[in-house]
């Protein structure tokens, strides 16, 4: 496994790989890898001749009161997992190289970033879009893989790629869950043992909404009521948002007529968790 930190070296290497006619599969991450990342890497291995992983904790997607400084990091463990999954190259740039002095350009995706996490995390998706655009220009992937757990992020990046004519295919990979249904996340490490048990109600409640849809219910308010009822049985959970939106445009809907997504964000103690389930 080759480790590259220099942006210019990574760009030149990627250009050479493309000239050789090889297909680059890319998995961008902020590190602290878990089985969800393993799933992305394994799918990436199927889709490219060369598999590249990036690890970069992106400072511009964190708000002033968010957890940038305490975001979990474990370089040695991440490298071990990367080797186990057989990646070809690990790109790990420094923040000072990605955002040098006087950096002032950002990428803003307008509509799909409205509401949901975009409402409670102002500027977050500008930070995500900007760093991914930069990584695409550096790594030059033919295909990039992202988890469906961060569904609004996935929709935002698909929109960006289409609007700005990136020659990169975006592939969404289904959410990987713990045995009890909790969506895998680097932030799960923040949860106490009691909070960890409470958190499982999010997925159970989303599944109840899907169950009612499959039993014939199509009215969004009634489906949301069923989901919220389950979550509110746990008094330690504070809901940030709970919505059902069109799965492609992320526009609010009142009736499910095509594929939709039920998305939730909630706080358990000091930890903010997100989850979703596709309804179709």
Per-residue pLDDT tens digits for 70-124: 999 999 999 999 999 999 999 999 999 999 999 999 999 999 999 999 999 999 9
DSSP three-state, residue 11: helix
- Model confidence pTM above 0.85: yes
Class (C level, CATH) for 2-173: alpha beta
Domain ranges for the chain, please list them.
2-173, 186-275
Question: In the annotation, is 37 catalytic?
Answer: yes
Out of 37, 124, 142, 203, the active site residue is 37
Question: Domain 186-275 maps to which CATH number in 3.90.180.10, 3.20.20.70, 3.30.1300.10, 3.50.50.60?
Answer: 3.30.1300.10
pLDDT digits (tens, 9 = 90+) for 247-257: 999 999 999 99
DSSP three-state, residue 61: helix
pLDDT number for residue 67: 87
Q: What are phi and psi of 183, to 5 degrees?
A: -65, 135
DSSP class of 167: S
- Judge whether 2-173 and 186-275 match in fold: no
Residues 6+ apart with CB under 8 A from 28: 54, 56, 131, 132, 135, 144, 146
DSSP three-state, residue 25: strand
pLDDT number for residue 12: 98
CA distances from 109 to 17, 117, 123, 210 (A): 30, 14, 11, 29
- Which residue(s) pair with 264 in the sheet? 242, 275
């Amino acid at each position: 496994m080759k480790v590259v930190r220099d942006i210019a070296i990574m760009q030149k290497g990627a250009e050479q790989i493309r000239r050789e006619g090889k297909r680059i599969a890319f998995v961008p991450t902020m590190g602290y890898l878990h089985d969800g990342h393993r799933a992305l890497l394994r799918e990436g291995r199927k889709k490219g001749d060369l598999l590249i992983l990036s690890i970069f904790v992106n400072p511009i997607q964190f708000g002033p009161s968010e957890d940038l400084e305490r975001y979990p990091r474990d370089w040695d463990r991440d490298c071990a997992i990367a080797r186990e999954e057989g990646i070809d190259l690990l790109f790990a740039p420094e923040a000072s190289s990605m955002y040098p002095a006087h950096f002032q350009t950002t990428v803003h995706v307008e509509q799909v970033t409205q509401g949901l996490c975009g409402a409670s995390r102002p500027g977050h998706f500008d930070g995500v879009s900007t760093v991914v655009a930069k990584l695409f220009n550096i790594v030059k992937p033919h295909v990039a893989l992202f988890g469906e757990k961060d569904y609004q992020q996935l929709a935002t990046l698909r929109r960006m790629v289409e609007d700005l004519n990136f020659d990169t295919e975006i592939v969404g990979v289904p959410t990987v869950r713990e045995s009890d249904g909790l969506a895998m996340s680097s932030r799960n490490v923040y949860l106490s043992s009691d909070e960890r048990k409470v958190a499982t109600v999010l997925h159970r409640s989303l599944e109840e909404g899907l169950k009612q849809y499959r039993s014939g219910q199509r009215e969004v308010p009634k489906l949301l009521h069923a989901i919220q009822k389950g979550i509110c049985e746990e008094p330690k959970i504070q809901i940030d948002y709970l919505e059902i939106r069109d799965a492609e445009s992320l526009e609010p809907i009142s009736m499910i007529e095509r594929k939709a997504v039920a998305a939730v964000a909630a706080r358990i103690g000091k930890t903010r968790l997100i989850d979703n389930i596709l309804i179709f």
